[in-house]
């Protein structure tokens, strides 16, 4: 038996991060119904494999929420739903007759996590992962981000918010509502930079030789010997102390050889994966 067995999740969110959160809840035992518009989820065009993986075990329905018949079908689903996940702007949800005040009155046990771009009073402002990262200094032009940090962090926060609401309901608080702002999720992930620990030249930003990237004879390695015992073990084994000595040492073997050396010595070092 899983912790969310018997819990019913209704996901109205497309793309990311709503489907990621819904899949995590499903992995905890919840049953998930995903409602897509008649044209489907754009994520299927962006990455068909990922789209399918995020919907494994879900029931996927295509409904036009502006059509009376389909809206009635949604009402039937909502009546038996424990947790609703949405990613439509609150103003648009209001226009559809799905604002929280309406939903809470009709379905007092329903919980909802609404994914928005920015916290109130900017909850109806448009944004995307790229713009959230850009506003936090997480981009290095002209390079695009290597991952969708805000969306994936938002998925985690959506999952946690949903679990908290369900727990609150079980403790007698009734159905509840929470907003997850992706800009806030990105800001939380950016805290290492905000506090200066990963700024260029800072301790975790290239300022410590024991926590750095090095070019090997072939490829690159990431060395993370931050703890004193790792640092001491590596430096004693290699007879090095300065960053120039680190660079010279790592240039003598391939990245794969250094990775194996790290395994044998119990020092965190891996070869960088290149695509």
Domain ranges of the chain: 8-192, 203-271
- Tens digits of residue pLDDT in 111-163: 999 999 999 999 999 999 999 999 999 999 999 999 999 999 999 999 999 99
pLDDT band at 173 (very low <50, low <70, confident <90, very high): very high
Can you give the pLDDT at residue 206?
96
Give the residue-averaged pLDDT of 228-253.
97
Q: Is the pLDDT of residue 185 over 80?
A: yes
Element (H, E) at 222: strand 220-224
Q: What is the distance between the alpha carbons of residues 9 and 181, in angstroms, rounded to a whole number?
A: 20
Q: What is the distance between the alpha carbons of residues 243 and 225, in angstroms, rounded to a whole number?
A: 13
Give the mean pLDDT of the chain: 97
Q: Which residues contact 101 (CB under 8 A, 6 or more apart)?
A: none
> Hey, what CATH topology would domain 8-192 get?
Rossmann fold (3.40.50)
Retrieve residue 158's tokens.
Answer: 């959506």
Can you give the pLDDT at residue 275?
66
The answer to whether the predicted template modeling score (pTM) of the entire model surpasses 0.75 is: yes
- Tens digits of residue pLDDT in 10-52: 999 999 999 999 999 999 999 999 999 999 999 999 999 999 9
Give the residue-averaged pLDDT of 43-66.
98
> Hey, what CATH topology would domain 203-271 get?
formyl-coa transferase, domain 3 (3.30.1540)
- Cα separations (Å) of 75 from 31, 33, 39, 98? 17, 13, 21, 10
């Amino acid at each position: 038996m899983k912790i969310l067995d018997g819990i019913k999740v209704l996901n109205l969110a497309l793309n990311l991060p709503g489907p990621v959160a819904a899949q995590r809840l499903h992995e905890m035992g919840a049953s998930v119904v995903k409602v897509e518009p008649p044209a489907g989820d754009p994520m299927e065009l962006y990455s068909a494999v990922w789209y399918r993986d995020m919907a494994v075990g879900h029931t996927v329905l295509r409904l036009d929420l502006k059509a009376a018949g389909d809206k009635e079908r949604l009402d039937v689903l909502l009546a038996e739903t424990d947790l609703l996940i949405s990613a439509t702007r609150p103003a648009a949800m209001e226009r559809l007759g799905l604002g929280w005040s309406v939903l809470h009155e009709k379905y007092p046990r329903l919980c909802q996590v609404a994914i928005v771009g920015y916290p109130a009073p900017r909850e109806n402002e448009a944004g995307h992962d790229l713009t959230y990262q850009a506003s936090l200094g997480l981009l290095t032009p002209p390079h695009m981000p290597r991952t969708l940090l805000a969306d994936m962090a938002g998925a985690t926060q959506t999952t946690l918010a949903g679990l908290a609401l369900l727990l609150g309901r079980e403790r007698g608080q009734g159905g509840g509502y929470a907003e997850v702002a992706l800009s806030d999720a990105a800001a939380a992930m950016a805290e290492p930079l905000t506090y200066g620990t990963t700024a260029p030249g800072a301790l975790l930003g290239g300022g410590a030789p024991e926590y750095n990237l090095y070019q090997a004879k072939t490829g690159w390695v990431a060395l993370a010997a931050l703890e004193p015992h790792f640092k001491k073990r590596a430096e004693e084994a290699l007879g090095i102390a300065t960053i120039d000595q680190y660079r010279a040492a790592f240039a003598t073997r391939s990245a794969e050889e250094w990775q194996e050396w790290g395994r044998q010595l119990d020092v965190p070092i891996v070869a960088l994966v290149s695509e």
